[in-house]
Structure 1
Amino acid sequence: MKIVVFSDMHTISPREPLVEVRNSRLFFADAWPTFVKLSGLIRQEAPDLVICLGDMVDWYSDENRDFAIGLLNELPCPWLSVPGNHDYQRFVRTEHAILKFSAAEGREAAREGWLARGIELHNRYIEAGDTGLILLDSALSGVPEGTQKWLASVTGRHRRQLVFTHVPLDQPQVREQILSVDARRDLAKYVQSRSPWLFPEALRGHVSDVFTGHLHIPGELTAEGTRMHMLGTAITTPRKPDLHASALVVTLGQHVDVRRIYI
């Protein structure tokens, strides 16, 4: 089985009605054509499944949602996504101002909007032959209540398990790598600081690979036998033109083979 994984599309629709917000985010708003180019490379790989690691949109609105889904539906196979913080963040125009709602504040309304288009963003377990795919909601820099009990019921179900989530796990090696690249990163936000138990108590010894986004910087490390794959963006932006739109191709054979493609 072949799976393509990417993260952080940050799609903004040309029809987004909050023009003021769109104009302040042109480095993302004008970047979607590079995702189309990446989609062409993905098509050449002929994957069986595509998984997005969140931030399909730069903020939730019906227009941004529908534009992102349209791009994703052009992929050559079924696709799934976990939620990113931007998928829940919202802006609302009032009579006097445009109000910003954080991911925590906008989560319920945004989840209803995604579900209205058939996009599920909750924790899920997907069977892929002899491999189990664990999709985790970490959009709020931690996993939802009840996740630990749920993980206990699914870990060990298959001989090999992989985790796909938006925010990197809160592990010392992950923290060190993030700070070595950017010492200014707020680790309360850029690792799962609300769920420090996740790896040592629930995943260690059960999963071979963990795939995360959120950082916008690609990287890889090994923590206690588990490979941590940190993805860059699925778009190329003027803000970081040296970081090209990229994805990981994951081939499930006797071993888990991972390679990067980019435009």
Structure 2
Amino acid sequence: MRVVQITDAHLYADIEARSRAGIPWRQFQQVLNAVVAEKPDIVLFTGDISQDESAASYALAMQALEQLPCPWYWLPGNHDQPEFMAAERPMVEQVDLDSWRILLLNTQVEGKPHGELGSERLAKLAEQLENDDRPTLIAMHHPPVDVGAVWMDAIGLQDRDAFWQLLSKHPHVKIILFGHAHQAYAEHHILGTGRGIGEATIDVYGCPAMADQFLPGAEQFAIDEASRPGYRVIDLAYSDVQGSEWQSWIERID
């Protein structure tokens, strides 16, 4: 099962509008063309579809995404207007993949750049995890870990401690995908105290943006002009002998 993550397109209603380092609509189309060549089974769009938050920007995205040869799903980022998204395509909270399951979390805090799940969303997540112990991939917009850029880490998931405490009770969560950071990232996150051998880990992955890339390790906001838009590929597998297995890597457009 091949899952492709795309994120942070930051589209405008005007297809010729420029961002800091390119034209988002053109970059969006280039990334989608590359994604089609990967022959994905599912595409996940982890937020910040729009930059100008216009209804027209979501209509543009919808028009292009409908050309994908597979099911696709999106969730809101801090720049998004969920009502405009839902008007184009309903958002879902769960995708069944036979032996695997995907949960899509909304971490948006209206009008704020940081993210938060809050008590109601955390309770809903706990219920979802308690009711199904299949290997699980969680997709979200805001990073639940520090990515190493001071300014970005300040606007990540604010209630991450509660999030990780919840996941420590559910080792069947295997993978977390996030956007927002506009850069590639990978971490084996240890659950629990970190003192024991054989403790559960979760692979946490960030993804290049479809639009501008952010400079890794920066103390203040900075564009990475040497990097390129891209996407993440995740190949999922499961067998009765080996259990859940996966591979993941980053691809970038020329």
Question: 8 Å contact 1:248–1:260 — kept in the other structure?
Answer: yes
Question: 8 Å contact 2:43–2:71 — kept in the other structure?
Answer: yes
1:153 to 108, 127, 130: 127
SS at 1:119 equivalent: coil
Q: What is the aligned length? A: 222
Unaligned runs of 5+ in 2: 110-114, 191-200, 215-222, 239-244
SS at 2:186 equivalent: strand
Separation in 2, partners of 1:242, 1:125:
36
2:90 to 119, 126, 130: 119
Match of 1:230 in 2: 206
Determine if the alignment matches structure 1 residue 218 to structure 2 residue 184.
Answer: yes
Normalized per residue, the structure richer in helix is: 1
Separation in 1, partners of 2:187, 2:230:
18
The 3 A distance-change label for structure 1 pair 260 and 80 is same
2:141 to 152, 156, 166: 166
Match of 1:37 in 2: 30
Task: Give the C-alpha shift of residue 4 in structure 1.
Answer: 0.6
Separation in 2, partners of 1:187, 1:41:
30
Determine if the alignment matches structure 1 residue 193 to structure 2 residue 149.
Answer: no
Question: 8 Å contact 1:13–1:29 — kept in the other structure?
Answer: no
Separation in 2, partners of 1:258, 1:70:
28
RMSD: 2.3
**Corresponding letter in the other structure for 1:42:** V
Determine if the alignment matches structure 1 residue 206 to structure 2 residue 206.
Answer: no
**Corresponding letter in the other structure for 2:211:** I
Match of 1:103 in 2: none
Task: Give the C-alpha shift of residue 202 in structure 1.
Answer: 3.6
Question: 8 Å contact 1:131–1:159 — kept in the other structure?
Answer: yes
Report the TM-score when normalising by structure 1.
0.76
- The list of structure 1 runs, each at least 4 consecutive aligned residues, that deviate by more than 6 angstroms after superposition, is none
The 3 A distance-change label for structure 1 pair 130 and 196 is same
Task: Give the C-alpha shift of residue 211 in structure 1.
Answer: 0.4
Separation in 1, partners of 2:236, 2:19:
38
The 3 A distance-change label for structure 1 pair 9 and 28 is farther
Task: Give the C-alpha shift of residue 187 in structure 1.
Answer: 3.3
SS at 2:181 equivalent: strand
Map 1:231-250; keep pairs closer than 5 Å: 231-236=207-212, 239-250=223-234
**Corresponding letter in the other structure for 1:50:** V
Q: Which moved more, 1:139-148 or 1:42-51?
A: 139-148
Separation in 2, partners of 1:113, 1:31:
19
The 3 A distance-change label for structure 1 pair 63 and 247 is same
The 3 A distance-change label for structure 1 pair 186 and 14 is closer
Separation in 2, partners of 1:10, 1:28:
12
Match of 2:217 in 1: none
Question: 8 Å contact 1:5–1:51 — kept in the other structure?
Answer: yes
Unaligned runs of 5+ in 1: 17-21, 88-109
Question: 8 Å contact 1:8–1:54 — kept in the other structure?
Answer: yes
Task: Give the C-alpha shift of residue 165 in structure 1.
Answer: 0.2
Task: Give the C-alpha shift of residue 41 in structure 1.
Answer: 1.5
Question: 8 Å contact 1:249–1:261 — kept in the other structure?
Answer: yes
